[in-house]
Homo-oligomer: A and B are copies of this chain.
Amino acid sequence: MTVAPPTTASARLLGLLARDLPPDRLTTDPAALAAYATDRSGTRPDGLPLAVAHARRTEEVAVTLRHAHALRVPVVPRGAGTGLSGGATAGEGALVLDLSRMNRILELSLDDQLAVVEPGVITAELDRAAGGHGLRYAPDPASAALSTIGGNIATNAGGLRCAKYGVTRDSVLGLEAVLADGTVVRTGRRTVKGVTGYDLTALLTGSEGTLAVITSATLRLRPVPVATATLAAYFASFEAAAEASYALTRAGVEPALAELVDGPVLGAVDPALRERGAALLLVQCDGAGAEIEAAAVSRLLAPLATAVETTADPAEAEALLAARRLALPALERLGRPLIEDIAVPRSRLAEAAREIRAVSARHDVPVFTLAHAADGNLHPIIVVDPSLPRLPDAAWEAAGEIFALALRLGGTLTGEHGVGVLKRQWVADELGPAAHSLQRRLKEAFDPRGILNPGKCL
């Protein structure tokens, strides 16, 4: 990547943006810029970004990129800044392109069960708007109340319901995006199927703002299930809970969600929960067969668990799920959480949990673990003292061993949070040299000057 010397190119870019964008689109006050340097990962690069451009229309994104491309100034696209891997962090001299004000739901088609939205729409707000018509947006990352659709697409966000309904990619039918040089492209379609040309929609989904800036998304909506049944089962150990969740997979049950919460997390949420068991498995079944499936789940779990509760009542179900939803806020009260996101083949879940505990003990680093059990996606969370100026070496070493473990078990560094900056040093190990080099060639085909979110993802 070639970046122009700060004075000339930066000053010229700010001049051009001031000339070509509507008023009130630029933030250059250093006090205000500090918040845009970092994201929820807590990572903060050196220096401050040059400015923030708050785009409200596709044409504003296009003109911003056209000038930045001509002047070779790096651009960091940003939604709500809730990313956990540092993908939206912006260092010295970068222009932050804030999409959070492009937040209109442009269309909600009940006829075709889809929505067309701008990237700054909050995920939960789309789901709520769809819910008024008996539909829903299936992906539900834990950040849904804060995070934007654009950010969800950039990281191919997962969530709880992806056990049954897939990840963000599975709900994206088409995109409008602006390339590094300001060209507007449209990918995909409004139909549920289609194979004309290469699948650029899937390629952009999960590309962490390094290939193009998404300015609109056509999203699949699904009917709200006719029925839902929720179970909470407590276990004597996390491994026992992991084995039980795997027993459901082996028995052919496909729950809408299956969440594992370990004892330390339960203790952080509510000491009374911790007393009920050393691990909690939450399972939700939905659709016409929800009750039948939940009964099958209950039969499978009963001999393995210390207690199983079932409810078909939505309010009771939310109370059961609260232990999962409150986990991250509870851990944030204990310190600064460094949230890992490995995924392993589902049969290796218990083994992964056992090894993670060994890593924790070896480095004397407390690790709290949540898991999307039906996907084999574990979130081992290292909580560090927030007063420390940087992450202690022991935390980095533990994180590195957890990544190595994931790859050794046939898994991946990141199931749903993205690589960002935090996992970049391990990417080549997972991809292998040939695929890594091919991915870099693709990046060049999209962004030959390397201005889009440099230093992220690959």
A-to-B contact residues, CB < 8 Å:
109-114, 134, 155-156, 158, 162, 166-167, 169-170, 179, 183-187, 189-200, 202-203, 205-207, 211, 222-224, 226, 249-250, 252-254, 285, 287-290, 292-293, 296, 343-347, 372, 375-377, 410-419, 423, 427, 430-432, 434-436, 438-439, 441-446, 457-458
Contact = CB atoms under 8 A, between A and B. Distances in A.
A223 B195 contact: no
Contact of A432 (B185, B191, B211, B287): B185
Given A193-B412, A196-B431, A288-B292, 5 more contacts: A110-B250, A195-B414, A224-B252, A288-B290, A442-B445
B436 A197 contact: yes
Contacts of A196: 412-414, 419, 423, 427, 430-431
Given A197-B458, A415-B194, A179 B427 contact: no
Q: Pick from A158, A206, A207 the residue with the most CB of B within 10 Å.
A: A206
A190 B187 CA distance: 27
A295 to B, nearest CB: 9
B112 A345 contact: yes
Contacts of A287: 254, 287-289, 293
**Closest 6 A-B residue pairs measured CB to CB?**
A289-B289, A288-B289, A223-B252, A202-B202, A111-B347, A194-B412
B191 A343 contact: yes
Given A196-B413, A288-B293, A113 B190 contact: no
A112 B206 CA distance: 24
A90 to B, nearest CB: 21
A290 to B, nearest CB: 7
B414 A194 contact: yes
A343 B193 contact: yes
Contacts of A430: 196-197
A416 to B, nearest CB: 6
B445 A441 contact: yes
A18 B414 CA distance: 45
6 contacts: A183-B434, A186-B432, A189-B411, A196-B430, A200-B438, A200-B439
A296 B288 CA distance: 10
Given A195-B156, A196-B414, A185 B438 contact: yes
B375 A191 contact: yes
B112 A347 contact: yes
A345 B191 contact: yes
A406 to B, nearest CB: 9
A353 to B, nearest CB: 15
Nearest to A251: B223
A253 B134 CA distance: 12
A345 B438 contact: no
Contacts of A184: 434
Contacts of A113: 249, 346
Contacts of A191: 343-346, 375-377, 410-412, 415
A434 to B, nearest CB: 4
B457 A197 contact: yes
